[in-house]
Amino acid sequence: MKKIIPILIALFLIIVIAVIGVGSKLIEKYSYSKERADLTAYFDVRDEGDVPVILQDERIEEHARLIDGVCYFDLAMVHQYFNDRFYEDKKEGLLLYTLPDAIVSTAIGTQTVARGGEESSRDYVIARYEGEHLYVAADYVKEYSNFSYELYTEPHRMQVYTEWNARQTATVLKDTQVRYQGGVKSDVLTEVSKGTEVIVLEEMENWSKVKAEGAFIGYVENKRLSEQTTVEPTPVTDYTEPVYTSNTRDHKINLAWHVVAGMAGNDTLVPLMQGTKSINVVSPTWFALSDNAGNFTSFASENYVGTAHDMGLEVWGLIDNFSHEGIDTYEVLAGLSTRQHLINGLIDTALQYKLDGINIDFENISLDAGEPFIEFIRELSIPCREHGIVLSVDNYVPMGYTDHYDREEQGVVADYVIIMGYDEHHRGSDTAGSVASIDFVEKGIADTVAQVPAHKVINAIPFYTRIWETKGTTVESQAVGIETAKQYLADHGIVTVWDEKTCQNYGEYQSGDSYYQVWMEDEESIRVKLNIMTKYQIAGVAEWQLAFAVDSVWDVIEEYMNQ
């Protein structure tokens, strides 16, 4: 017996040690880690003034900055998430915001805001540069945008809401932790107390992804959460978007551009109007930027306007940016002073000559001139709205490389957005083709009405075609009016056939080494285009140009106008 007792004790100790070992492993496996996450790394805090941003329920790539206790957003971030109407006037060191009736201005680096002749101050610097980036105070952005934000410390981060959709929430049933990932061994982000409410972002088998106070997004065990409840947050409605009233007409527009290259050209209005039907707007090409200071040349005539009015026509004077050499559209539009000089000149001229409208035909706008251009349209719309002058803007058919024309904003501040529904193939094209095939025209209208209210959209049609000559690898063309094109076909014995793809009459012939092609613009092709315009219920039609028309085409357009 004495020999057995030590053996039993040894066995007992072995069992105890084994149990302790297994127990330790089980404890190690199933016990809750108390390891704290590195919050600076978790929130991606990059330097002392850096403020990561949680937008809705997601940490975004863009960060805010904390400067002198004030939160600032990079202007690009303001444009992307809050309001793209803020304009940085780099030439004059200003931050501008254009309202329907006034320009709100602050000199960058100051606390003062000017609106009209009145000034007011904020208790912070409104906009400031940090390196090459312009930062705008979040509180100032809030004056023109509806969003909420809350700043947290240790480390700094910012919770921002711009949407207030229904949320799923749950109440914490017992003191617990929000962990970086689902699992008891994951690092702890923050502690949450019994009775705390969290937003449930995703529910899994044993864990739920939640957002807790302080913008901590992590995981909590389902057994620590109550049943979910749907909560409807209260939206922020501090800012009311102003109404940009329009000088649109209550009837269809039929605008004909009248090319006037000198004062003598004004005398051609009456003869060119002979045989026309249903035109209610004429747009003479009177004005052209003449330098980079905002000056322009003019062929305006009081007698012309009086004659047009007697004929029942409105007159929308056109200004372009390409008739004179050396014009840099960016230089003209980038600074407030030159923009206002140009605007004042246009408005004074419109009032002097009793114009009904102004037609902006600025083409080949560079990417860097895109924002100045749309700011120019915003600012010009103010006096146009005040004086009842129609503001229309000419645009290429929407293509990716013209997105910077910002048709959507044009559709808000201008009265009419005109699609130049032609030049599908143009003088510089390296292949022959239609000036305005039906698919090209319809895409232009569809893409525009997706951004601009249909009652503000006018589609312009060509009264010209191109006669193409291909010789080897060389492709050349000349633009001619409808009558000239018909005569060319007759002179060369070309028989056309209807092309269903382009919805145009197509003709071709060979002469020596040269291959000639014509996609006709005529009564038939124009009728199809007008049918598409009726389909989209847009505001009307425009024609380039009056001198290229033939009488018979006006019958087709009159039918459209009377629909």
List, in order of start, the domains of the chain with CATH numbers: 42-157 (no CATH), 164-231 (2.30.30.40), 253-561 (3.20.20.80)
pLDDT at position 22 is: 47
pLDDT at position 337 is: 98
Residues facing 289 on adjacent strands: 296
SS3 254: strand
pLDDT at position 4 is: 73
Under-50 pLDDT residues of the chain: 22-24, 26-28
Q: Which two tokens stand for residue 191?
A: 């502690």
Backbone angles phi, psi at 382, to 5 degrees: -65, -60
pLDDT at position 32 is: 86
Decide the pairing of beta strands 464-471 and 514-519: antiparallel
Distance CA 306, CA 252 (A): 22
Angle at Cα 349 formed by Cα 347 and Cα 352, nearest 5°? 110
Distance CA 436, CA 480 (A): 14
Among candidate residues 554, 504, 37, the one with its CA nearest the CA of residue 274: 554
The strands making up 86-89's β-sheet, listed across from edge to edge, are: 86-89, 94-98, 103-107, 112-115, 118-121
Task: Please say whether the beta carbons of 206 and 114 come within 8 A.
Answer: no
Going by the DSSP 8-state scheme, the letter that residue 195 receives in this structure is T
pLDDT at position 407 is: 97
Among candidate residues 504, 498, 500, 499, the one with its CA nearest the CA of residue 482: 504
Among candidate residues 296, 422, 312, the one with its CA nearest the CA of residue 360: 296
pLDDT at position 18 is: 54
Distance CA 507, CA 519 (A): 7
CA of 29: how far to CAs of 184, 185, 187, 230, in Å?
A: 9, 8, 15, 36
Run of H or E residues at 167: strand 167-171
Distance CA 108, CA 126 (A): 7
Distance CA 370, CA 471 (A): 38
Q: Is the peptide bond before 545 cis (omega within 30 degrees of 0)?
A: yes
SS3 403: helix
pLDDT at position 25 is: 53
- Enumerate helices (H) and strands (E) in the chain, giving the number of each: 14, 34
CA of 191: how far to CAs of 174, 211, 213, in Å?
A: 11, 12, 10
* Torsion of Cα atoms, 40 then 42 then 43 then 48, to 10°: 20
Burial 25-61 (b: 16+ CB within 10 A, else e): eeeeeeeeeeeebebeebbebeeeebbbbbbebebee
Q: Which two tokens stand for residue 259?
A: 């090319």
Decide the pairing of beta strands 176-179 and 188-192: antiparallel
Whole-angstrom Cα Rg for the chain: 34
pLDDT at position 6 is: 66
Decide the pairing of beta strands 197-203 and 207-212: antiparallel
